A and B are shown apart, each in its own frame.
Chain A
Amino acid sequence: MKNWQKILAFCVIFMFSYSLVFAQVLIKGSVRDKDGSPLPGVNVVIEGTTTGTITGIDGQFNIQAKVGKKLMVRFIGMKSQLIEIKSANALLAITLLDETIELGETVVVGYGVQKKQSVVGAIGTAKADDIKMQGNVSNMTDALTGLIPGVSVLSISGMPGGDYDTGLKIYTPSEILIRGKTTWNNSSPLVLVDGVERQMNEVDINEVESVSVLKDASATAVFGVKGGNGVILITTKRGKEGKAKFNVEAEMSFESASKIVGVEDTWKAAIARNYAIERTRRFNNGLWTQLYTSDQEIGYYRSGQYPYAYASQDWQDIMLKDFAKSSRVNVTASGGTKRAKYFASASYNHVGDIFDGQNVGTGYVPAYAYDRLNIRANFDFEITKTTQLAANFAGMYGVQTTPNSNSGGLNGIFNSLTNLSGDTPIRVYEDGVPGTADGSFGAANPWYDFNFTGTSSYPRTMVNMDYTLTQKLDFITKGLSFAGKLAFDNTFRNNGTKIYNAGVATKTIAKNFYLEGGYYDYNASTYMLNGSPANMDNYTTYTEPKAGTEGFGWVKTPNSIGTETVSLGDAERSLYYQLQMQYSRSFGRHSVTAMAMFSRNQSETGSNWPHKREDWVGRITYDYNQRYFFEMNGAYNGSEKFGPDYRFDFFPSVAGGWMVSNEGFLKDKKWLSKLKLRYSYGLVGNDNLNTGSTWPYVTIWNTYSPDNKESNYYGYPSAYQEYIRYNEGNPGNPNLRWEKAAKQNLGFEFAAFNNKLSLTADIFNEKRTDMLIGADDRANTVPPIFGKPAPPANIGKANSHGAELEITYRNSIKKNLNYWITAKWAIARSEVIYKESTELTLPHQKPEGKPLGQTNAGLSTGIIGSWDDLYSATGANNASSNSFLLPGDLIMLDFNADGSYYSSDDNVPYGYPTYPQNNYGVSLGANYKGFDLAMSFVGAYNVTRSISLPLFYYDNLQVASVILGDTWTPEYNNSNPSYPALALSSAKAYNPTGQYNLFDGSFLRLQSVELGYSIPKQLIEPLRINNLKLYVNGKNLFLWTKMPNDGVGMNDPGANYPTKKQINIGLNLQF
């Protein structure tokens, strides 16, 4: 027999005999995905044959096969499985898993993705689920609160729509700090959305797949100069191969103001003001006659007998709603084939107003509100086997609404909550006429201002797109690829439609009308006095809104509508492109990756000159046997802010890691899951400085038009401008160069007991040199005689250091109850080593040796208890101030021992910086069957916040409760008071408050808590729903703090929209 005949014969014999032993049987089975939904169209083939079948619509299949054979189960986008047929009667239940790499195993790093195992930089990550736990937040910055150690979010405003400054409204946006403040220049981190520098706040949180925060030099070095303050990488979701999946999420939130400074009832304030008047009568007897409130009147305030003459209005209650309603709806769809994958998302987000705007017959409801529509479509195309194209389109349309009234000023809407007295002005009289603003008490009628001034809207549109083309270059060398990226972003901010309301007449009714027995007859709609309609002319003062300059002949003008105006000056365009070569290959135990990249960015606002930037970046990593890791990064960055000699600079970093647990000597320690050490050192730069010029290294000459109102011309008989006017711009500094930061990071990662316990610790330090200092800061060191704003210069040094720790324990009890708890703690300290200051700056006021952002204050050492004390205490530096000192005033510390207290000489560093030096958090959660519960606490300490508490603002009956509980005034019997005795500032011109307004800004808050329930599968499967989850979520529900109001970080300008707490109910539906 020839060879092939032998083989054939053998086969035939073999098969025959085989069939004798194992007869063919009918095998039944079903195929599902990991969520449990049946997978139709799955290939089921007997291994080694072409015999097979395809699952039906219900995922079921039948196949004739023999016991002992193996079935190959295959489906696009899923990992194939080989199932052995063990018995003839078994019903095979097969679950296919997604083929895509799970993100948990990799980490998004600068310009790429790395295996988590081989990461040597300090990188913190948060996933979609963590972010969504934060409740219904429309602002990505706030969503990061407490998620990642070393990242602190400073927020003191709850303004819907966030930090868009209309130029008229004053409030401070949320700020984000990574590892504290390390420079006096802009400390904001670089934010990239899908690899492109973009605004973070308008990204819808449902679109976010992951957030990576790069903290040390090794991680940020590839961003070179831009990464000096850390980098936040936001990656949006992408489609996965497989059938279409839909996710619908709807949330409804109920929001109310978080902690606001408490104010006293009118009658209590009246008693307090009486004490103050009695005490300061010697200085201003007039106030005694004008303002002293008799016991009888205090009785009226207290009893509410004359609510329109002796009113006790609770402005917080009047101005704020019980709760505001916000809502969010999000729909996403994703799926695709190997050739084309898609992820699409649409979200609508409405943020309601906690202020109680009303349609008071004006035809509109004024509100601070924000409505936003986000749309995103991310596509991945496989053009050829080696060519891939990713295209992302994102659009946002948001409309911020505000009333036209002045919200930020001292008499504005926001301050009305704390600065206004309960008795004046009257919000609205019985007949519906609002009370007139009371000028003598600095009291606008906020209810009137809010409701009768019209509304404005400010639409913003953002259209972002980016394309990435990746070409594998394996034909040159295996593992090489090329990627080109192009991004084009546009933002438009317009002045939207407006309603102008000229207002209505307001009035004030004299107190004696009510005291004489006058009242309003609601049935007859008239004011009555002594049984007959009153002649109100004798009692009423009307105030008409001003028309023109005069205010005479006023007629109520109808509301007018302002149309939307395009403001081209606010249009932003940005063009970004990058070219990137990547190489990744393993040679046995050696793995090597390399990356080289070039990018340019050009962005412009309005018709300003475009801002340009150019970066050259490279990275090499090496990994030996998954035990030793080595990484080198370099960025060669150019900034248009510096002259040709200093324009480009090289910022390198090196890092190494050692996975100790992969060493042979530890291989048999089964309890040890992971032990890794890593270290990085590198240099990053910063050119982020407000210099007043795009090209601060050189003096720019300009042309300009003189202010034509105030002349500036020559000529007779009329003034005339003959020549083009030129002037000198801000003088440049040709030696201006990069601010540099040398960063070190030592990290330690540990996991044990099958990863049940894990711990990550990092310690770091940073040295900044050549720190940039701008014209504003140099105003005192380069005196005005120079004749121009000082040129910016590299004059300064600062150091910082700190540590981060994160410990997680997770476990399951009887497989049904899973629970986990994570604790995070981060500390960051900074110290100014050198900062230019004037020769005559007093030593204790020099910035050196103190943290960046140090708080300064005059200090009080106690309270003058008696006249004896007064004569022996150090006084103020001038006689007129001293003449106002009384027992009960603060003894101010004469720090420079020159015999008197003078704020500009004796103020010293006090407390902590304005941002927290220490942040911590604990989050924990559990799930049991369909239920899951998670909560997260966030806290901070070592922070000082300045909150100016007004007292008798404009002499009115306004007292913050905190003050009454802490004043020296003997009538209040406070033990160990720290606030001086009560005084009217109009009577007493010198009222030092020392450090009183500087509060310990420490806090602990229940940042979020969520309880969810997933409906059991068997109930929803018939409806073709994969998952249905209902949840209740709370945000900022409890706050423990010594501060009188809720806010973190920056000093309170006293003019912010209150921060909020929130309860959400929501559902999540997947099918």
Chain B
Amino acid sequence: MKRYTIKIGLLLAMAFMLSSCKEYLNIPPEAAITEEQIFGSYASFQGFQDQLLNNLVDYNNHGSRVTNSVGGEALSADNQSAAYGNSGNYKALLSSVGIYSAGVNAFSAGLYSSMWENIRITNMCLEKLKSGVLTDATDEQRDWLKGQALFFRAYYYYEFVRSFGTVPYVDKVLSAEEQDMKRHWTYEKNGKTYKDVQAVFERIVEDFDAAAALLPANWPSPNINWGRPSKLAALGFKAKALQFSASPLFNQQATGVLDYDKDLLNRCAIACKAAIDLAASLVGTQPAGMPVADADGLTKWADLRKVFATVDGTQPYTPEVLFHRAINSFGALVISQATSRNYGEKQVTGQNGAQASQNYMDKFEMKDGSRYQIAYDKDKVRRWDDRDKRYDFNFYMHGDQVDKVTLDFSWTKFNADGASNSNAIRKFLCDGVTKDNPGLATFCTPLLRLADIYLTYAEAVYESTGSYNNTPAGLSMTAEQAVNKIRIRAGQPTVAATVPFYENNPLTGSCELASDPAFRLLYRNERAVEFAYEGVYWFDIRRWKRAQLQDGVQLQALMFDVDKKKVIIESSVNRVDVSPYVFKDQHYWMPFDVSLTRFTTDWEQNPGW
């Protein structure tokens, strides 16, 4: 018996010797960052929140030739996104090349796949602010954090809903078990019931509103904070959200009525005006070195390129830009790889990307405000030289001298370069920048600029009142005045002088109807010209429910031969069909991934996919 006692004792001793064993398997303290460490102080909380930038969109800056030019604006080689988009292959667009760019995974992720992660982050920020874990922050800093979280939640929803239609509005950090997700829902507010996609937009507008109340008009210390969402950005996006919500496509999904919602338009106009007024009041408060805006808050023509591109190592930024994705990459790499992959042309950027389609170039007016006619193709002056200033601003044509390169867009040359049309898009290139002369060039696509707010205002006022030259009640600007601000900067005649040219004069093969009033044709054309290649057009023609008018239209290129002196042989100038544009009913909404639709009957796929 004694022996066993000893034995058991020995085992027990061993066990005691090695107690505290449970701690051995604990997470090493160095590996465990606590929530207090992250959410306890303003600086670290802001650091957590700043990961939201990872998925910010830049429609044109992407490693995989991704652009939002899928409304027929651009032609590109097969298996580039413009080609996928123009042919209606949205599934491939989403699964292989992506439609929205994002830094995290330049090739396939983007906003589409990381949308929900962003929403989770914003909700987490809001919950942590509420929980009181943040101790080391001033009240002002708390407002900033909350304002940014609300802004980003609304912003990401805004981007997503514009493409995919109604989705649930997630306003909390979900657990893995929560599966109560109905795509279709209603939202009561101010005695009104908003359905489906308009309900989503109401929540978005609420968030933007709340953010606008919390965010500063100008961030202190611009050298570290400039570009954070500001009060102006929140107001601007609020206006845009109302514009989308009011537009025929969205109104039809929510209410079945294929028309504008006038009430929403009114609210949109008021929101626009609030943004415009705030912008005007901020003129002159921009950081040192940034171009000064004119009294309307718009960038002067001479500085306009700085909205899109720089060559001196600074960010492309002017006060007209309400929000964009900051840029930290300059020089040869940007010019010979990234830009070129979107709108590059071999002779300029060294790589081939997309070229403008002739159909889209036709939207650029003549200098006198009249519309371009296909017959002008054969007229060497009217063809290119006698155009809206923004034509030159957007395109390089045959014979243009860029740095040391004289561009040759003869058929044989552009075909050899693998290009699809005889032009190169120059909007995102400063003058003289080529692959051999990149300097510290960079480029960026604004996510929202004040010019859009002016034109949004014009659309809202005109479509709700039916008049472009009456001042609406409670507001001080007519639709005409708003459009003129943009036209005058570009040196184009005013609306009054131009409207007659649009009377019963829609472009063939476009999204325009002969029955459209002249001013509608005009402001819509103005949007296409002003925001060319900024990822606006495809959203517009869907929003207006006009995109299907373009279905089956042949996207065209202009071809010509040159003589030995590289002079165009006029008799050879010829407009040719390149590929048909496809837009069926199903293309109004992006297809969801099956992982969402297989999950529950409540989450139905968009029709036709």
A interface with B by C-beta (< 8 Å): 476-477, 480, 549-550, 579, 581, 583, 596, 598, 600, 609-610, 612-614, 638-640, 644, 647-648, 694-695, 698, 700-704, 706-728, 731, 733, 778-788, 790-791, 793, 838-841, 904
26 pairs, A vs B, C-beta closer than 8 Å: A476-B10, A477-B4, A579-B14, A600-B24, A694-B27, A695-B27, A701-B35, A701-B37, A707-B103, A709-B328, A712-B50, A714-B224, A714-B228, A715-B315, A716-B287, A716-B289, A721-B50, A726-B44, A727-B48, A733-B176, A778-B176, A781-B599, A782-B176, A786-B174, A787-B117, A840-B600
Query: How far does the alpha carbon of A698 sit from the alpha carbon of B46 in the complex, in Å?
Result: 23
Inter-subunit contact A784/B174 (CB<8 Å) = no
Name the residue among A480, A550, A639, A715 with the largest chain B CB count within 10 angstroms. Answer: A715
Question: Which A residues are in CB contact (< 8 Å) with B594?
Answer: 904
A877 to chain B, nearest CB (A): 13
Inter-subunit contact B11/A596 (CB<8 Å) = yes
In the assembled complex, B267 has its CB within 8 A of some CB on chain A = no
Question: Which A residues are in CB contact (< 8 Å) with B325?
Answer: 711
Of A480, A639, A706, the residue contacting B54 (CB under 8 A) is A706
Of A648, A721, A723, A840, the residue contacting B599 (CB under 8 A) is A840
A364 to chain B, nearest CB (A): 33
CB within 8 Å of A: which B269-315 residues: 287, 289-290, 313-315
Of A477, A480, A648, A731, the residue contacting B22 (CB under 8 A) is A648
Given A713-B53, A786-B174, A790-B176, A719 and B25 touching (CB < 8 A)? no
CB within 8 Å of A: which B168-195 residues: 168, 170, 173-174, 176, 178-179, 181
B129 to chain A, nearest CB (A): 15
A620 to chain B, nearest CB (A): 12
Question: Which B residues are in CB contact (< 8 Å) with A614?
Answer: 21, 24-25
Question: Which A residues are in CB contact (< 8 Å) with B10?
Answer: 476, 581
Question: Which A residues are in CB contact (< 8 Å) with B493?
Answer: none
Inter-subunit contact B596/A703 (CB<8 Å) = no
Inter-subunit contact B6/A476 (CB<8 Å) = yes
Given A717-B314, A727-B51, A785-B168, A711 and B43 touching (CB < 8 A)? no
Question: Which A residues are in CB contact (< 8 Å) with B596?
Answer: 783-785
Question: Which A residues are in CB contact (< 8 Å) with B38?
Answer: 701, 726
Q: Which 6 A-B pairs have the closest CB atoms?
A: A787-B120, A710-B103, A723-B47, A716-B226, A717-B314, A477-B3
Query: How far does the alpha carbon of A779 sit from the alpha carbon of B597 in the complex, in Å?
Result: 12
A994 to chain B, nearest CB (A): 22
A711 to chain B, nearest CB (A): 4
Of B168, B224, B317, the residue contacting A722 (CB under 8 A) is B224
Query: How far does the alpha carbon of A470 sit from the alpha carbon of B121 in the complex, in Å?
Result: 57
A585 to chain B, nearest CB (A): 10
Question: Of all chain A residues, which has the CB nearest B18?
Answer: A598
Question: Of all chain B residues, which has the CB nearest A697?
Answer: B27
Name the residue among A726, A793, A839 with the largest chain B CB count within 10 angstroms. Answer: A726
Question: Which A residues are in CB contact (< 8 Å) with B439?
Answer: none
Question: Of all chain A residues, which has the CB nearest B35?
Answer: A701
In the assembled complex, B61 has its CB within 8 A of some CB on chain A = yes
Inter-subunit contact A725/B51 (CB<8 Å) = yes
Of B33, B119, B314, the residue contacting A702 (CB under 8 A) is B33
Contact residues on B (Cβ < 8 Å of other chain), bracket: 35 or more
Query: How far does the alpha carbon of A694 sit from the alpha carbon of B329 in the complex, in Å?
Result: 35
Question: Which A residues are in CB contact (< 8 Å) with B224?
Answer: 714-715, 720, 722
Query: How far does the alpha carbon of A614 sit from the alpha carbon of B603 in the complex, in Å?
Result: 45
In the assembled complex, B104 has its CB within 8 A of some CB on chain A = yes
Query: How far does the alpha carbon of A731 sit from the alpha carbon of B113 in the complex, in Å?
Result: 18
Of A711, A778, A787, the residue contacting B116 (CB under 8 A) is A787
Question: Which A residues are in CB contact (< 8 Å) with B44?
Answer: 723-724, 726
Question: Which B residues are in CB contact (< 8 Å) with A718?
Answer: 313-315, 328
Inter-subunit contact A841/B27 (CB<8 Å) = no
Question: Which A residues are in CB contact (< 8 Å) with B333?
Answer: 709
Question: Which A residues are in CB contact (< 8 Å) with B18?
Answer: 579, 598
In the assembled complex, B448 has its CB within 8 A of some CB on chain A = no
A904 to chain B, nearest CB (A): 8
CB within 8 Å of A: which B583-597 residues: 593-597
Interface of A is mostly: loop
Given A716-B227, A719-B328, A726 and B47 touching (CB < 8 A)? yes
Query: How far does the alpha carbon of A714 sit from the alpha carbon of B224 in the complex, in Å?
Result: 6
Inter-subunit contact A476/B336 (CB<8 Å) = no
In the assembled complex, B326 has its CB within 8 A of some CB on chain A = yes
Given A476-B10, A731-B176, A714 and B24 touching (CB < 8 A)? no
Name the residue among B51, B103, B227, B328 with the largest chain A CB count within 10 angstroms. Answer: B328
Question: Which B residues are in CB contact (< 8 Å) with A703?
Answer: 33
Question: Which B residues are in CB contact (< 8 Å) with A694?
Answer: 27, 31
Question: Of all chain A residues, which has the CB nearest B28?
Answer: A609
A850 to chain B, nearest CB (A): 19
Inter-subunit contact B124/A712 (CB<8 Å) = no
Query: How far does the alpha carbon of A722 sit from the alpha carbon of B227 in the complex, in Å?
Result: 13
Question: Which A residues are in CB contact (< 8 Å) with B34?
Answer: 701
CB within 8 Å of A: which B487-529 residues: none
Of B54, B226, B593, the residue contacting A714 (CB under 8 A) is B226
B517 to chain A, nearest CB (A): 39
Question: Which A residues are in CB contact (< 8 Å) with B473?
Answer: none
Inter-subunit contact A788/B599 (CB<8 Å) = no
Given A709-B103, A785-B170, A715 and B326 touching (CB < 8 A)? yes
In the assembled complex, B552 has its CB within 8 A of some CB on chain A = no
Question: Of all chain B residues, which has the CB nearest A711?
Answer: B328
In the assembled complex, B222 has its CB within 8 A of some CB on chain A = yes
Question: Which B residues are in CB contact (< 8 Å) with A782?
Answer: 176
In the assembled complex, B106 has its CB within 8 A of some CB on chain A = yes
Question: Which B residues are in CB contact (< 8 Å) with A550?
Answer: 350
In the assembled complex, B601 has its CB within 8 A of some CB on chain A = yes
Question: Of all chain A residues, which has the CB nearest B337?
Answer: A549
Query: How far does the alpha carbon of A549 sit from the alpha carbon of B178 in the complex, in Å?
Result: 51
Inter-subunit contact A711/B226 (CB<8 Å) = no
Question: Which A residues are in CB contact (< 8 Å) with B102?
Answer: 710
Question: Which A residues are in CB contact (< 8 Å) with B4?
Answer: 477
Known: A778-B176, A783-B181, A786-B178. 10 other contacts (CB 8 A): A476-B3, A581-B11, A612-B24, A703-B33, A706-B53, A718-B315, A720-B223, A784-B593, A784-B595, A840-B600
Question: Of all chain B residues, which has the CB nearest A842?
Answer: B598
Given A598-B18, A639-B25, A725 and B599 touching (CB < 8 A)? no
Given A725-B48, A728-B124, A712 and B116 touching (CB < 8 A)? no
Inter-subunit contact B7/A583 (CB<8 Å) = yes
Name the residue among A598, A720, A786, A904 with the largest chain B CB count within 10 angstroms. Answer: A786
Name the residue among A704, A711, A784 with the largest chain B CB count within 10 angstroms. Answer: A711
Inter-subunit contact A549/B336 (CB<8 Å) = yes
Query: How far does the alpha carbon of A596 sit from the alpha carbon of B8 in the complex, in Å?
Result: 11
Question: Of all chain B residues, which has the CB nearest A837?
Answer: B598
Question: Which A residues are in CB contact (< 8 Å) with B313?
Answer: 717-718
Question: Which A residues are in CB contact (< 8 Å) with B553?
Answer: none
A72 to chain B, nearest CB (A): 36
Inter-subunit contact A725/B47 (CB<8 Å) = yes
Of A477, A647, A706, the residue contacting B25 (CB under 8 A) is A647
Inter-subunit contact A711/B48 (CB<8 Å) = no
Query: How far does the alpha carbon of A733 sit from the alpha carbon of B175 in the complex, in Å?
Result: 10
Inter-subunit contact B329/A711 (CB<8 Å) = yes
Inter-subunit contact B598/A786 (CB<8 Å) = no
A637 to chain B, nearest CB (A): 10
Query: How far does the alpha carbon of A638 sit from the alpha carbon of B327 in the complex, in Å?
Result: 48
Query: How far does the alpha carbon of A708 sit from the alpha carbon of B4 in the complex, in Å?
Result: 68
Inter-subunit contact A717/B315 (CB<8 Å) = yes
B501 to chain A, nearest CB (A): 41
Question: Of all chain B residues, which has the CB nearest A729?
Answer: B33
In the assembled complex, B131 has its CB within 8 A of some CB on chain A = no
Query: How far does the alpha carbon of A784 sit from the alpha carbon of B109 in the complex, in Å?
Result: 13
Query: How far does the alpha carbon of A720 sit from the alpha carbon of B314 in the complex, in Å?
Result: 11
Question: Which A residues are in CB contact (< 8 Å) with B32?
Answer: 700
Query: How far does the alpha carbon of A904 sit from the alpha carbon of B43 in the complex, in Å?
Result: 49
Given A549-B350, A785-B170, A839 and B601 touching (CB < 8 A)? yes
Query: How far does the alpha carbon of A790 sit from the alpha carbon of B117 in the complex, in Å?
Result: 12
